[in-house]
Amino acid sequence: MSFKGIFCLIFLLLFSIIFAFISTLNLFIIIGGVVLTIISFAFGADIFVDEAIGLGTKLRLTKMQTGATFLSFLSIVDEIFVVLNSSLRGYSSISFGAVEGSNLVAMGVFLISVIVLGISIKKEFSFDLALLTLIMLILLISSFYYTSISIFLAILLIIIFIVYITRITGHKGTLGIQEHSYSFTIFVASALLVYFASQNIVTISNYFYITLGNNLFFWGLIIAGVAGSIPEGIMFLISLRRNETDTAIGLILSSSIYKATILVAIATLISPVAFKGSRFSIIALLGISAFLFVYVLLRGVMSKNHKNITMP
C-alpha cells in the first residue's frame, strides 16, 4: 500500500473516531459528517475487501466462505449497534425497521445486478436463497397471526442461524482465489474505519429521527436501514469490480440471513418487536429471494439440457 493510501487511511480513521465521540451536533457538522463518512465507507471498504480476501487465502477459505464470514459480518456492524442501542431503550421497532430496510436495499441491489449486469449465480447459492425465502415466509405468516414476534419464533430464528453458520463454515469447495498480499495492520485499520463509519451513520440517522420525528419503524426502515446497507452495497460492488463474484454474492446473501435471523432474535429477546408496518417490506423481500431462487434453478435446468443436447 502506498504512503498516500496509508495517510488517507489514518486521516479518515481519526476523523471517524473523533466524529463518533462528538456530543453536540448541528446541521453544519451533520452535512460535513455525511460527506466524509461516505468517503470513509468507500475507502475503508475498498481496502478491507482486498485484505479480507488475502486473509481468506491464508486460511484456505473459498470465495463463498470469505464473503460469508469476514465481509458479511463486518458489513452488519452498524445494524448490530442499531439493534442493541434501540432495543435496550425499548424501541425495537427501529431495530426491525433497520434490518428490513437494510435487507431490502441490499437484495434490491443484488437483483438489479443480476438483471442488468447479468452476473452468474452458482447453484451452491440456491440453499442461501431458499433459506432466506423460508425465513421471510415464516415472518409473513406470523404477521397475520401475531402483533409482535414471539419468543418461540426468536428461538427458531436462532436455530436457523446456527444451522446456516455450521453449513457455510463446513462448505467444501475449490479455493479459486488467487494469492493476495495481506497485512494484518492494514486489515485491522480498515476494519476499524468501516466500523466507526457505520457507527457515525447511525448517529446521523438518530439526529434526523429526533429532529423530524415520525413513526419508529419508518425511520428505522428509511434512515437506519438505507444507511445500514451502505457497507454491504459498497463491498458488494467493489467485489464485483474486482471480479470476485462469489465473494460478492456470499457477502450479500449471508449478511441478509444473519440480519433476518440472529439480529431480529436478539432484538426480540431484549424487548418486544411489533410487526406493525413491516408487512410490505417482508413481502418485497420474499418476492426478491423467491424470484432469485427460481432463477438459479431454471438456469441450472437450462444448462443441464444444453449439455445433453450438445453431447455427441
Residues 6+ apart with CB under 8 A from 127: 167
Q: Structure pTM?
A: 0.74
**Is 107 contained in some domain?**
yes
Note the pLDDT tens digit of each residue in 56-90: 667 666 666 666 666 677 667 667 777 777 777 77
Mean pLDDT across the stretch 39-66?
Answer: 70
Answer whether residue 187 is part of any domain.
no
Q: Are 264 and 156 in contact (CB under 8 A)?
A: no
Report yes or no on 245 lying in a domain.
Answer: yes
* pLDDT mean across residues, the chain: 79
With respect to residue 76, please indicate whether it lies within any of the assigned structural domains: yes
pLDDT by residue (tens digit) across 135-156? Answer: 999 999 999 999 889 999 999 9
- The set of cell numbers assigned to 291 is 424470484
- The pLDDT of residue 78 is 66
Q: Using the predicted structure, report yes or no on whether residue 305 has a pLDDT greater than 70.
A: no
Which range is least confidently modeled, 140-144, 151-155, 206-210, 300-304?
300-304
Q: Is residue 26 part of a domain?
A: no
Per-residue model confidence (pLDDT) at position 175: 44
pLDDT for 229 equals: 77
Say which residue, 31 or 71, is predicted with more confidence: 31
Task: Taking residues 272-295, report their average pLDDT.
Answer: 90
> What pLDDT sits at residue 174?
47
Residue 166 sits in a domain whose CATH number is 1.20.1420.30
Structural domain contains residue 54: no
The set of cell numbers assigned to 282 is 417482508
Instruction: Please report the sign of the dihedral spanned by the C-alpha atoms of residue 44, residue 112, residue 70, residue 18.
Output: positive
Position 142 in a domain: yes
Give domain status of residue 1, yes or no: no
Total of domains in the chain:
1
Contacts of 12 (CB under 8 A, 6+ apart): 36, 39, 40, 43, 44, 193
Mean pLDDT for the stretch of residues 180-189: 77
How does residue 286 score in pLDDT terms, banded at 50, 70 and 90?
very high
Q: What is the pLDDT of residues 232-283, one digit of tens each?
A: 787 788 888 888 888 888 889 988 999 999 999 998 998 888 887 788 899 9
- Does 6 have pLDDT greater than 70? yes
Domain boundaries, position 211? 64-177+197-303
DSSP states of 150-213: -HHHHHHHHHHHHHHHHHHHT-------------HHHHHHHHHHHHHHHHHHHHHHHHHHHHH-
Give the confidence band of 107 by pLDDT, cuts at 50, 70, 90: very high
Residue 152: predicted pLDDT? 95
H runs (alpha helix) in the chain: 3-20, 27-58, 63-66, 72-75, 77-88, 92-112, 126-145, 151-169, 184-212, 216-219, 226-228, 230-241, 245-258, 264-270, 279-310
